[in-house]
Amino acid sequence: MYDLAVIGLGVAGLEAINIALKNGLKVIAFEKGEIGGTCLNMGCIPTKAILHSANLYDEIKDCSKLGINVFSAPDYNWQNILDRKIEIVNKFNKLLNSTLSKKIDIVRAQAELTINYDNIEIYADDNLYEAKNIIIATGSCPIELPGLPFDGEFVVSSDDLFNMQKLPSRIAIVGSGAIGLEWAKILSSFGCSVKIIEKAPFLAPNLDVDLQKRIERILKQSKIEYYKNDYITSVSDDLVILNSQSAFDVDCILVAVGRKPILPKIVINGCAEEFILKPEQNGTCEIDNLFVAGDALGSTMLAHNASYQAHSIMNKILFDKSIVKKPCPSVIYITPEIASVGLREQDIQGEDGYIIKKLLISSLAKSWCDNANDGLVKIIIKDNVIVGAHVVSKEASALISIFNILIDRKIPLDEIEDMIFPHPSFSEAVLEVVKNGQ
């Protein structure tokens, strides 16, 4: 009998185990794939490693305006870029394997649950295991579209792109969320002709309206074509035809319309049933001592949100604390970065008592020093505290962390004005938008 069983060793599972070990719990984990989950192996980390190469390549191509001359056109080696990505991923894989194997039992097999009223049994690799508490953290997989099943060559997911030995010359990307936009940035930087197709009336439909407009501007500057309120109706050989009657040839299609939860097989009282969560979707279940965290929960599929969910669940298991939902920042790592947390302008339309302030990043001296003066900061205020923040800027991923703290702790504006920020820096935007935003 274990104190805790964790099914899935991604960000959520690893956070839960870390807390469990600090509190002296006996832990077993089940993982059929690579330790680290989507984030480490097929998501955040490898994508950002490749993005760094793409950004550096762009900077070198444009460095003459900074007084630096490159006497031959820069070139890139895609295989070397992939090799660097693999080296980074393998480094963390080895570290996690080495650390965890000394502290917990790990079963490298797929787990299934059998629930008989109050008793939960775990079956894996033809063996039976039991635990007082179980956390399902089995992650997610890319969503397929009807009529566009993944084949790994012509219709691909973001997972498939990591295995491409040669980049396509022409690609259509279906979906303009973080995955679609980040790969559009990467592929465009390396000379690929990119077309983005978004079924919604706006690009990045989950973001604030001002960020959506900025994304259109960024794509135009990068010569990335986009089609809003449109979708693929047919594909004939290499020819893609849209509902708008637009048509173009491509080498492949990236479907990046999101991800869906992966859940283990569960048998309840002798019957295979759908896994049902409570309506509040906070990770608790109708069955006591059974929890879900991370992408498997099907809510905000972000690594840092998964970590927080696991943290909250462990607080409930250990100390019977309530699971509280908090504002969760999101970042799209294009150039400049796009970041958001809290309420959007669309969320407050028709509501009274809200104030919106905006500040152009070009008002910061640091933005001119760094040749990164395109962007803005926007905050939404109510009752003298910030309730929403949206940033387009270099280092937006760092700026949004500051805003997240201000929102989470409900720090009044006058207290923010009393704070000191370093000069010159992008962080000054936090103070400046509060004091001088229009």
Domain final position from 211, 227, 257: 257
Cis peptide before 336 (omega within 30 of 0): yes
CA distance between the termini of the chain: 61
| CA gap 223, 269 in Å, rounded | 57
**What does the H/E/C string look like for the chain?**
CEEEEEECCCHHHHHHHHHHHHCCCCEEEECCCCCCHHHHHHCHHHHHHHHHHHHHHHHHHCHHHHCCCCCCCCCCCHHHHHHHHHHHHHHHHHHHHHHHHCCCEEECCCEEEEEECCEEEEEECCEEECEEEEEECCCEEECCECCECCCCCCEECHHHHCCCCCCCCEEEEECCCHHHHHHHHHHHHCCCEEEEECCCCCCCCCCCHHHHHHHHHHHHHCCCEEECCCCEEEEECCEEEECCCCEEECCEEEECCCEEECCCCEEECCEECCCCECCCCCCEECCCCEEECHHHHCCCCCHHHHHHHHHHHHHHHHHCCCCCCCCCCEEECCCCEEEEEECCHHHHCCCCCEEEEEEEHHHCHHHHHCCCCCCEEEEEEECCEEEEEEEEECCHHHHHHHHHHHHHCCCEHHHHHCCCCCCCCCCHHHHHHHHHCC
Domain extent at residue 358 = 336-436
Look at the block and give the residue holding tokens 């010359």: 169
Residue with tokens 């509060």: 434
**Please, are residues 285 and 292 in contact by the beta-carbon 8 Å criterion?**
yes
User: Do residue 189 and residue 136 come from a single domain?
Assistant: no
Q: How confident is the model at residue 117, as a pLDDT?
A: 66
Residue 281: per-residue pLDDT: 63
Mean pLDDT score of the chain: 94
Tell me the one-letter amino acid at 121: E
**Same domain? 129 vs 13:** yes
Q: Worst-scoring range by mean pLDDT, 213-217, 288-292, 317-321, 341-345?
A: 288-292
pLDDT band at residue 250 using 50, 70 and 90 as cut-offs = very high
Judge if 122 and 162 occupy the same domain.
no
Confidence at residue 116, expressed as pLDDT on a 0 to 100 scale: 79
- Pairing outcome for strands 239-242 and 131-136: unpaired
Residues 164 and 55 in one domain: no
User: What pLDDT score was predicted for residue 178?
Assistant: 97
Question: For the chain, how many structural domains are there in total?
Answer: 3
Encode pLDDT of 105-141 as tens digits: 999 999 999 887 668 899 999 999 999 999 999 999 9
Whether the per-residue pLDDT at 379 is higher than 60: the answer is: yes
Q: What is the pLDDT of residue 278?
A: 46
The answer to whether residues 305 and 344 belong to one domain is no
Residues 117 and 182 in one domain: no
Average pLDDT over residues 235-242: 95
Q: What is the mean pLDDT of residues 269-290?
A: 65
**Together in a domain, 196 and 107:** no
pLDDT at position 277 over 50:
no
pLDDT of residue 438 exceeding 60: yes
In this structure, what CATH number is given to the domain that contains residue 189? 3.50.50.60
Model pLDDT, residue 271: 65
CATH number of residue 387's parent domain: 3.30.390.30
Q: What is the arithmetic mean of pLDDT over 42-55?
A: 96
CA distance 351 to 324: 25
Place of tokens 């509280």: 324
pLDDT bin (cut points 50, 70, 90) of residue 55 is very high
Residue 412 has pLDDT above 70, yes or no: yes
Structure confidence by residue, pLDDT tens digits, 381-394: 999 999 999 999 99
Q: Give 307-339 pLDDT, tens digit per residue.
A: 999 999 999 999 999 888 899 999 999 999 999
Residue 37 pLDDT: 94
C-alpha separations of 250 from 86, 97, 196, 245, 322 in Å: 28, 41, 12, 16, 51
- Whether pTM > 0.85 for this model: the answer is yes
281-306 per-position pLDDT tens digit: 678 877 888 999 999 998 899 999 99
Q: How confident is the model at residue 272 (pLDDT cuts 50, 70, 90)?
A: low
The verdict on 52 and 197 lying in the same domain is no
Q: What is the mean pLDDT of residues 220-249?
A: 96
**Domain end: 215, 241, 257, which one?**
257
pLDDT at 118: 67
Residue 73's pLDDT is what? Answer: 87
pLDDT of 282: 72
Q: The tokens of 38 are what?
A: 């989507």
Q: Is residue 329 part of a domain?
A: no
